[in-house]
Each structure stands twice: as C-alpha cells, then as structure tokens.
Amino acid sequence: MEGVLILGGTGSGKSSGSARSLILQYLASGFGALVLCAKIEEKQRWQEYAEQTGREKDVVVISPESGLRFNFMQYLANAGEGASYTENIVNVLVESMANVNREGGGSSGGDQAFFINASKQIVRNCIDLIKLATDEKKEVKLSLAAIYDIIRSAPRSVPEMKAGEWTDTAFGQYVLAAQKNIATSGTPVNEHDYYETISYWENDYARLPDKTRQSVLSTFTSSAEPLTRGTLHKMFSTGIDVVPEDSFDGKILIVDVPVKKWLAAGTFIQVIFKTLFQQAAERRNIQENSRPVLLAVDECHYFMTDTDLDFLTTARSARVASIYITQNISNLYAKLPDRELVDAILAVLSTKIFHANNDTITNKWLIDSLGQYWAETSSYSSSRSPVSQGDEIFRAITGLGDNMTSSSTSVSETRTDKIEMEIFSQLRKGGQHNSNKVDGIITQSGRIWNHTGDNYIICEFNQQ
C-alpha cells in the first residue's frame, strides 16, 4: 500500500512496462480505482487492463459520451458534517483553480496569494448565500453555474446596490429567498450568517476598486466558465450519477476528460475529482469497508497539487495505493510552486522505479540517494635511477644491471557512486528489438534487496 513513483523518458517503457505490471496485479487483487487521464488513449488502455483481469463490469467511464454526471459542488454541499462546511468547499474549488492558473502561467508569489484569498472570499459568500436561500428541509442545490450566476449579477458599486435594481437578477433572487427563510424560520446562527453575507456584498464587494474586482473575477471565471455551459455544464453542474466512494465498492472510475483534448478544463475537473477522492478515502470507516483502492495518475505533473503531500503521508492507513507516473523530476519542479514541496512528495512516495532517461536532474537524484561505497583502487609507479659511467662499464662486462629501476604498488580506498550516469542510457526500452523487455531500477525506502544485497535492484518488465 505504499506510494509508487515511476520515472522515465518518452518511449522508455514506463507505462507499458512497470506501470502495466503493477496495475494488473492491483486489479487482479480486487482493488477499486480512480484513474485520471492526460492522454486521449488512457481510457482504452485501462479498459484493456480490466479485460485482462476479468474486471470489465467494474469499469465506470465518466465522459461526455457516457453521460454520467458528477455535480461536485452539490456532492460537497451534502457530504455530511465536516466535508460540507463552507470553508472546505471553498478550498477545494479555489485551490483547484489556482492549480489550473499555474498551468496557464498565471500570477505567482504575492499576487497569486492575493487573488486566491480574494477568490475564496467571493466564493465563500456565494455558497453561504445559496445555503441561506435553501429551505432547511430541502437538499442544498449547489453548483458551479449557480455561483457563476451570482458573481455575474451582483451589484458592483454602492450606488448600484442601493438602487435595488438587482432584485430581478440571480443574485437578487437568492437574497430575497434568504430573507424569507430568515423571517420564517431563522435561527441565531442563520441570522448571523445572513448578516455577515449581506454585509460582504454591500460593504466589501461593492466597494472593491473596479480594476481589483475585474482582476479577481477574471482569475475565477477563466477556470469556472468552461464548466458553466455545454457538455461540461451537463456533466458537472446538473446532477449526480457517480461519486468517488463508488471505488470503495470495487468500481474502476475513469475520468475520461483528457487534458490533451479538454486542456485547462480537463485539468481543473480531474484535480477536483482527485481531491474529493482523497478526502473521501480519509473519511471512510475502514472497519466497515476495508477494500483497498488505487489512485492512478499518469502524466502526474498535470494533476499534482499542494494537497497531495498531506494525503500521501496518511494514504497507507486509508488503504489507498498511489501510482504517480511522469517523465522526470524536472517536470515536477516546473509545475509545482516550490522545490521543497516536490522533495517532500518524493520522500513519501516510498517505491521509485527509474527507466531510461536523459534528464540529468532525475538521474543525479537517484545516484545521490543510493549513496556511495568504499572501493579499493590500486596504483603502480616505477622509476629508473640515473646511470653513471662506471655502471655502464659494469653492465657491459657482466651483462647485469638491466633492472636498475625501482617500482611500487599502493592500494587505497575511495568513496564511489553505486551506479554511473551512463547506466540510464543502457536500460532497455522495450519493443521488438528488445524482445518487449523493459529495464527499471527500483528503490524502496528501508529495503535491502535479497537478490543484490544492496538498496537497489535492476528489474526486467514484460510489455506483453
């Protein structure tokens, strides 16, 4: 149940070699799974895995073609105590958006933090307004589209707020419904929340400088808008046919909204699904349902976020095995906000498999982590003494003196890397010319391999 990181250059055989071997074992053992898709062909690959292990009936494809829906906002709003708390919903949504904005080269540093906090404030008050407008006897109907409608129609100045023309807008309808609920069945808690929410829209949002408000709204809507219309709106804002918890019953959930087709929207929705799967796994009562589940993330640099570290540190106790696959460590340094976070994630992914690679950062990382050993080195030296005239006469008469040289041999111990850099270009990458064999260097925290008596082993994987 330890986390696995698989690294290898394009065409190294990482997906068809070690990843395939591990996945087939997981599925044959009855694991449920969540599969994220960066590449268009990922769904078909997993359908083949399921067929090879007799798990075809467990496959659930979440895609425009399947028509299955997952309104993640409604799911969160009704997920029970803790998960449905407004702040948790806000964090899932906005942090996922921040990840997409990093992908798109958005703001960073202090500007990024400002926009994240401002976006959270807006979303927080949208969600609370929707909750306050919902009859307490009914299920909260929360969606990304509803939040988007409130933001677009809310008054953007104090005079506009006081004029009252907003009452016919989506924002106004939610405010009027909230007022009605408070008047008829309001509790002290609800009354306080209503006051704080309305105060935000009147005194904070309406007073924001136009440029600041526009920048914040642009940051939010650039990620949210694609999911408020068309196919993605239907899939992720209109109902719930599948939930992450289905994997705990043995389903193989494939989120087939590949990044290579849907771009930022594909990243956004899959990051959210991954986050909700991780949260659901940590909420699960293992005593009641102990089925192990798998989180499989090929091209993981598209989907990794700050929250992965927290999850991976406790995933074992939640009975979640994770497989993260990417070309090299440099990908992770480029996509995540800081190197320290990447290094921490590398540390908690206990099993690592390195395939053929020409990324020196990745290869040096492995060389350094394996450590060094004491190696004996010997040196030989010789010298010839100067020959005098008498020596030359003596040698001519007797024939002796040809070995009038001195030599010495010394042995010393030096620290030497266990593997050399060139080994990464020598690992087999599969294909017919390699008899469909893929080589990988495996390391595992705290393990000495019996076969080698060392902390690494070079293993052969079959592509068929």
Q: What is the pLDDT tens value at each position of the chain, 464 positions in all?
A: 789 999 999 999 999 999 999 999 999 999 999 999 999 999 999 999 999 999 999 999 999 999 999 999 999 888 777 777 888 899 888 888 877 766 544 445 556 677 788 888 999 999 999 999 988 777 788 888 899 899 989 998 888 888 888 889 999 999 999 998 888 876 777 888 999 999 999 889 988 888 888 887 887 777 778 888 889 999 998 899 999 999 999 999 999 999 999 998 999 999 999 999 999 999 999 999 999 999 999 999 999 998 899 999 999 999 999 999 999 999 999 988 789 999 999 999 999 999 999 999 999 999 999 988 777 666 666 666 555 555 555 555 555 555 555 666 776 778 788 889 999 999 999 999 999 999 999 999 889 999 889 999 999 999 98
Structure-block tokens of residue 287: 């005593």
In whole angstroms, what is the distance from residue 92 CA to residue 97 CA?
9
Strand partners, 321: 294
How far CA 447 is from CA of 144, 350, 352, 444, in Å, comes to 47, 10, 12, 6
Q: Do the Cβ atoms of 61 and 53 come closer than 8 Å?
A: no
pLDDT of residue 116: 81
Q: Cα 340 to chain center, whole Å? A: 15
pLDDT of residue 385: 56
pLDDT of residue 396: 56
In whole angstroms, what is the distance from residue 190 CA to residue 48 CA?
52
pTM as predicted? 0.87
Domain extents for the chain?
4-66+254-365, 72-228, 373-417
Residue type (1 letter), 392 = E
Place of tokens 């969600």: 127
Closest C-alpha among 14, 411, 73, 446 to residue 236? 73
Q: Do the Cβ atoms of 271 and 100 come closer than 8 Å?
A: yes
Structure-block tokens of residue 84: 């449905």
Structure-block tokens of residue 101: 């904005």
Closest C-alpha among 211, 202, 216, 191 to residue 121? 216
The residues, any chain, with a CB within 8 Å of residue 176's CB and separated by 6 or more, are 167
Q: Is 218 helix (H, G, I), strand (E, B) or coil?
A: helix
Among 1.20.1260.10, 3.40.50.300, 3.10.180.10, 2.60.40.1220, name the CATH number for the domain at 4-66+254-365.
Answer: 3.40.50.300
Q: Is 119 helix (H, G, I), strand (E, B) or coil?
A: helix
In whole angstroms, what is the distance from residue 193 CA to residue 185 CA?
14
Pairing of strands 437-444, 351-354: antiparallel
Residue type (1 letter), 156 = R
